[in-house]
A = this chain, B = another copy of it.
Amino acid sequence: MVEREISEFEMIAGTRAVLGLLDGKWTVEVLYLLASGKRRYSEIYYEVGEISKKMLTRTLRQLELHGLVQRTVYPEVPPRVEYALTQRGWSITGPLMGMYEWAAEHLDDAPEQLAA
């Protein structure tokens, strides 16, 4: 591990990459849900309020593409598909918690609450 200067450009690029991974209306909710245990497609569908199948599929495929979620298909009839966090997926709950903690500390004394 070599010490070196970190450019502002790298800070921006890295930060934006993470925000890109978390992008999408349902992404965070699905990640937190899977952080409490792996689920089948329909379990996620019913546990996440109001999401459509289209968006659920899109969200899960993005997470899989980015290596945060592992998709496992069991070749049965009817089909069974399980989704679980990867190690990478687990690791990103760190920054996620960081954001929650900031919110818990700084959101109540706020001019504008971005109401839940």
A residues in contact (CB < 8 Å) with B: 8, 10-22, 28-29, 32-33, 36, 65-67, 88, 91-92, 94-107, 110-114, 116
- The dominant DSSP class at the A interface is helix
Copies in the complex: 2
Contact A32 B18 (CB under 8 A): no
Q: Which of A11, A101, A110 counts the most B-chain CB atoms under 10 A from its CB? A: A11
Contact B28 A8 (CB under 8 A): no
Contact B67 A88 (CB under 8 A): no
A67 vs B102: C-alpha distance when bound (angstroms): 14
A98 to chain B, nearest CB (A): 4
Partner of A112, one of B65, B95, B96: B65
